[in-house]
Chain A
């Protein structure tokens, strides 16, 4: 069984060639799966959604799974990324790559703003403060009608072709669009893998495991938390920017607190604090949504019930449970 990082209570497994291999090449494995993924999906649009929400959950998981802080305001980071990317294109006519950079910058900046306030509180307060602040962001974007289109959403993000070193790539073709977005998502997974493998990544987990001990070891716990939250904002901002390019519109609901709740569900479903968890969670969640919404409009009832069952019986999530099984 492939294993990435340990879930909270388990010590890092030491034996097993497969495990070592999978851990070392975890980003490459994700890349390989992503590349063949659309070939096995019923339609490409779903695959693109899974990519984007997987990336969003990856960023969220850095804070939730690795740092151990539950944020209920990640919609603000995701949404700001989407809006800034969209605004850069619609109002300023920036090229696509600059717009994506604007989205990432938006995610980072919003995470810094929210983080500076929310990090001042601890424990359970964090979920409440992040949720309240993201609600504030929602109202601000809702009211800035000139810039964001308000209730109607930001329309007119038309990126038809992607120009890359003289190459013109058709962004309308769903398959090509998938691989363009996949390139960014794979790059993000490599960056995430690098962050987690770095000494800083070890500090992040040290803060989660034992704050006092991390502090006693000379690490600045507050700064680590803030930096991690900001980094998470970068990933979510990128996911938001890709979402804006994919949908050609940024709906105001992207900032709604249900978007924050969605990523919490995806991360928990997949397995928090695991490297593959967010992608697995996004895939299972969105495929399930697709199937269930065919025969009932009351998808929220099902998703709520599944989530409750997850919290009660599978707190380690799908991937976390698989890892625990494989280890026995």
Chain B
């Protein structure tokens, strides 16, 4: 293990945080949707993937990355609204498995549609020019784009927190998560709240896909892998808990990054080992309420 200096480990830690930031964005959308609608969105990975492809398309017709940062979440969010309204809404009250199954089928359709439109092979996704290169962060040079990913995630989290905690609509959302029936009795149209929450969740997924695109390129299957890993994040963090999703997302990112430094072949497996440990020690996750899922 020669050459393993403190700096190298610190750099790897930062790389893990950047990776974790993507997990965080993906998982808060998943958690938000589950927390309000009790829907496990199996198509979340597909929304993430479509987000990256919409970005790719916008750039190919002459847009730039900054336009994409605004346009992609809006486009994917609108698409999410349609999906909730048309496909998921008829299933409320029919058992918790049905929306899950439906979104699973939907992910097949979305992936195949992208394959038809863009082909089966993947594309590279150029890092925007301003964000190329590396900067000195004290312990060594770190890719600028990864720093940007961390910063963008922080901004989204802050905005989401302000929205949920400081606005009256956020108050309704939080109340709806706790007891939809009472909220309905108080005269709030809960189905409209659910619609918007689904839109927000999918918009964040699309945004995450766009942010991830320059790191790993885009292929139609990119959503499937991250979905399984995001499930690990939700299980570790506690389902329906946004704070849990943030902490667990960063933790999972760091664990992957650190194992790939010491034992690269175990990097993928390590996060599942983490999940197994959490399941044995604390089945409800870091911030999950015991018995919430029963």
Answer yes or no: A41 CB below 8 A from chain B CBs. Answer: no
Determine the distance from Cα of A30 to Cα of B237 in the docked complex, in whole angstroms: 46
For residue A24, give the distance in angstroms from its CB to the closest CB of chain B.
31
Partner of B228, one of A132, A140, A298, A301: A132
Answer yes or no: A136 CB below 8 A from chain B CBs. Answer: yes
Chain A residues near B91: list those with CB within 8 A: 311-312
Stretch at the interface among A118-126, A177-185, A278-286: A118-126
Instruction: Please state if B275 and A129 are interface contacts (CB–CB under 8 Å).
Output: yes
Answer yes or no: A175 CB below 8 A from chain B CBs. Answer: no
Chain A residues near B34: list those with CB within 8 A: 124
Instruction: Please state if B98 and A311 are interface contacts (CB–CB under 8 Å).
Output: yes
Instruction: Please state if A304 and B98 are interface contacts (CB–CB under 8 Å).
Output: no
Chain B residues near A143: list those with CB within 8 A: 265, 269
Determine the distance from Cα of A300 to Cα of B111 in the docked complex, in whole angstroms: 8
Instruction: Please state if A304 and B234 are interface contacts (CB–CB under 8 Å).
Output: no
Instruction: Please state if A139 and B268 are interface contacts (CB–CB under 8 Å).
Output: yes
For residue A289, give the distance in angstroms from its CB to the closest CB of chain B.
13
Chain A residues near B275: list those with CB within 8 A: 129, 132-133
> Which label, helix, strand, loop or mixed, suits the secondary structure of the A interface?
helix
Instruction: Please state if A127 and B224 are interface contacts (CB–CB under 8 Å).
Output: no
Partner of A301, one of B100, B108, B239: B108
Determine the distance from Cα of A131 to Cα of B275 in the docked complex, in whole angstroms: 12
Instruction: Please state if A124 and B100 are interface contacts (CB–CB under 8 Å).
Output: yes
Answer yes or no: A257 CB below 8 A from chain B CBs. Answer: yes
Chain B residues near A127: list those with CB within 8 A: 40, 97, 100
Which B39-67 residues have a C-beta within 8 angstroms of A? 40
Determine the distance from Cα of A258 to Cα of B42 in the docked complex, in whole angstroms: 12
Determine the distance from Cα of A128 to Cα of B273 in the docked complex, in whole angstroms: 15
Answer yes or no: A117 CB below 8 A from chain B CBs. Answer: yes
Known: A123-B294, A128-B235, A301-B113. A308 touches B268 (CB 8 A): no
Chain B residues near A231: list those with CB within 8 A: none
For residue B236, give the distance in angstroms from its CB to the closest CB of chain A.
10
Answer yes or no: B130 CB below 8 A from chain A CBs. Answer: no
Chain A residues near B102: list those with CB within 8 A: 308, 311-312
Closest 7 CB pairs of A and B: A304-B108, A136-B272, A307-B105, A304-B109, A301-B112, A128-B231, A135-B228
Chain A positions within 8 Å of B, measured between CB atoms, are 70, 117-118, 120-125, 127-129, 131-133, 135-136, 139-140, 143, 257-258, 261, 264-265, 268, 298, 300-301, 303-305, 307-308, 310-312, 315
